[in-house]
């Protein structure tokens, strides 16, 4: 099929609404990453998302809305817990996804057979306009081929999915650059399953203590069940092998192990000390810039055909936790701890 590259103008958004209503697939900008959207209430349309991405069928999707009232209006959940309502008022629209008991409108394809559903109200004005033009909530995972780095520009989406989907709307670069925070509101103490742009500290300031799932920072042990099915798959990976290097002597280690096929993924402060090609994500203290640059940089490293990347292990406070969570998966949990060798 021919994939249309559309703009944010009114006519194009209207056309996208029509494509979605008749069961089509559209790449849509959000403030986190680009999503691959389909009508969330149409199981057949949603099945097309899994096919286009090559996504395992047991990995559930997030349902995107354009108004807090949509949760109840479309019967998306069977219970909207008090704490979830507080978080919705504070952080929606924005990069926060909440898991709740699923409502009767949700097809099995969306929830992948679970009895819960993930809901998010994106902040990006074009995403909101697309949802309103479709007139229904939209199921949307990240718009990449399963396993590759998530797309933060329309060109990334075209790279992965050209010819497999109906259209992509170009809404520029995504502001955050990493996927939303995912939190389950089902247990009495809500639990973060995936860190993102809204931090644990921000959430706790509204609803008090929450938990952080073990799988956020650590590898699942074999046989252990993932609370968020997406966490068990290899993820965000460029073709190059990525190794996370932990410790303050990072630049010395990389310089000692340099080779023409080796690149460094590092802080701005490291770049000038390195004698290999250095891809800097931002200042050490500037976790927002690091998040914004990460996926685009991983794709760039591939386009320059490096074989091995020594990535500096990021600090994990604030949004740094999300950067670490994505990088350790891109590395397939391969870590060199310089303090231990
Ligand atoms: O920022 C985002 O969240 C982007 C944009 C497009 O909105 N979307 C996104 O979707 O990252 P995806 O499918 O790439 O990641 C969704 C994650 C997966 O790890 C999935 O397993 C988890 O959320 N998830 C979805 N529904 C769930 C549920 N009912 N229970 C547990 N985990 C769930
Ligand atoms: Mg994804």
Task: Kindly give the confidence (pLDDT) of every residue in the chain, 341 residues in length, as a single tens digit, with 9 standing for 90 and above.
Answer: 999 999 999 999 999 999 999 999 999 999 999 999 999 999 999 999 999 999 999 999 999 999 999 999 999 999 999 999 999 999 999 999 999 999 999 999 999 999 999 999 999 999 999 999 999 999 999 999 998 999 999 999 999 999 999 999 999 999 999 999 999 999 999 999 999 999 999 999 999 999 999 989 888 877 777 787 777 666 788 899 999 999 999 999 999 999 999 999 999 999 999 999 999 999 999 999 999 999 999 999 999 999 999 999 999 989 999 999 999 999 999 999 999 88
Interval between CA 337 and ligand 2 midpoint (Å)? 28
Interval between CA 166 and ligand 1 midpoint (Å)? 22
Contact between 147 and 55 (Cβ < 8 Å): no
Closest CA to 105 of 38, 39, 57: 39
- 179 CA closest ligand 1 atom index: 1
Closest CA to 120 of 147, 141, 151, 149: 141
- 97 CA closest ligand 1 atom index: 3
Exposed/middle/buried for residue 14 (C-beta within 10 Å: 0-12, 13-18, 19+)? exposed
DSSP 33: S
Q: CA 147, 29, 71 angle in degrees (round to 5)?
A: 95
Q: Given ligand 1 and candidates 230, 233, 295, which is best to mutate, with the most ligand atoms within 8 Å of its CB?
A: 230
CATH of the structural domain 241-340, one choice from 3.40.50.11030, 2.40.30.10, 3.30.479.30, 3.10.20.880 = 3.40.50.11030
Ligand 2 (single-atom ion) residues, CB below 5 Å: 142
Sheet with 241-246: strands ordered across: 277-280, 262-266, 308-312, 241-246, 335-337
Q: How far is Cα 258 from Cα 262, in angstroms, rounded to an integer?
A: 6
Pairing of strands 96-101, 116-120: antiparallel
Q: How far is Cα 150 from Cα 53, in angstroms, rounded to an integer?
A: 11
The per-residue pLDDT for 236 is 80
Q: How far is Cα 238 from Cα 255, in angstroms, rounded to an integer?
A: 22
CATH homologous superfamily of 4-216:
DHBP synthase (3.90.870.10)
Does ligand 1 lie within 6 Å of residue 157's CB atom? Answer: no
Interval between CA 106 and ligand 1 midpoint (Å)? 15
Beta strands in the chain (DSSP E): 4-6, 26-28, 35-39, 62-64, 96-101, 116-120, 138-139, 167-169, 181-184, 191-194, 211-212, 241-246, 262-266, 277-280, 308-312, 335-337
Closest CA to 200 of 337, 304, 325: 325
Residue nearest to atom 19 of ligand 1 (CA): 230
**Token match 């500037």: residue?**
286
Closest CA to 274 of 263, 282, 289, 286: 263
Instruction: Give how far the C-alpha of residue 115 lies from the chain's centroid of Cα atoms, to the nearest Å.
Output: 22
Helices (H), 191-338: 200-207, 250-256, 268-271, 287-303, 320-330
pTM above 0.85, yes or no: yes
* Residue 28, φ and ψ in degrees, nearest 5: -130, 135
Does ligand 1 lie within 6 Å of residue 179's CB atom? Answer: yes
Residue nearest to atom 31 of ligand 1 (CA): 228
Contact between 167 and 26 (Cβ < 8 Å): yes
Interval between CA 305 and ligand 2 midpoint (Å)? 23
Interval between CA 28 and ligand 1 midpoint (Å)? 15
Q: Where are the domains of the chain?
A: 4-216, 241-340
Tokens (6 digits) for 325: 């969570």
DSSP 302: H
């Amino acid at each position: 099929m021919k994939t249309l590259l559309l703009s944010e103008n009114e006519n194009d958004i209207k056309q996208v609404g029509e494509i979605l209503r008749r069961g089509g697939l559209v790449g849509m900008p959000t403030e986190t990453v680009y999503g691959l959207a389909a009508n969330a209430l149409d199981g057949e349309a949603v099945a097309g998302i899994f096919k286009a991405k090559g996504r395992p069928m047991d990995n559930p999707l997030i349902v995107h809305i354009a108004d807090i009232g949509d949760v109840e209006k479309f019967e998306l959940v069977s219970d909207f817990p008090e704490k979830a309502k507080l978080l919705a008022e504070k952080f929606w629209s924005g990069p926060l996804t909440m898991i709740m008991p699923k409502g009767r409108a949700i097809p099995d394809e969306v929830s992948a057979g679970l009895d819960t559903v993930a809901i998010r109200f994106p902040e990006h004005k074009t995403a909101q306009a697309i949802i309103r033009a479709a007139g229904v909530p939209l199921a949307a995972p990240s718009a990449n081929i399963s396993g590759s780095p998530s797309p933060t520009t329309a060109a990334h989406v075209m790279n992965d999915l050209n010819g497999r989907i109906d259209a992509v709307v170009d809404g520029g670069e995504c502001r955050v650059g990493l996927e939303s925070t995912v939190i389950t509101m089902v247990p009495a103490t809500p639990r973060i399953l995936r860190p993102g742009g809204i931090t644990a500290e921000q959430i706790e300031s509204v609803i008090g203590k929450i938990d952080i799932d073990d799988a956020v920072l650590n590898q699942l042990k074999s046989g252990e069940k993932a609370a968020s099915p997406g966490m068990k798959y290899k993820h965000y990976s460029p073709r190059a092998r990525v190794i996370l290097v932990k410790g303050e002597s990072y630049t010395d280690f990389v310089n000692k192990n340099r080779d023409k096929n080796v690149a460094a993924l590092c802080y701005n402060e490291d770049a000038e000390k390195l004698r290999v090609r250095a891809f800097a994500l931002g200042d050490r203290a500037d976790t927002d810039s690091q998040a914004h640059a990460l996926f685009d940089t991983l794709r760039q490293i591939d386009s320059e055909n490096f074989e091995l990347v020594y990535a500096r292990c990021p600090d994990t406070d604030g949004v740094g936790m999300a950067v670490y969570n994505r990088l350790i998966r891109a590395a397939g949990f391969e870590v060199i701890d310089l303090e231990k060798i």
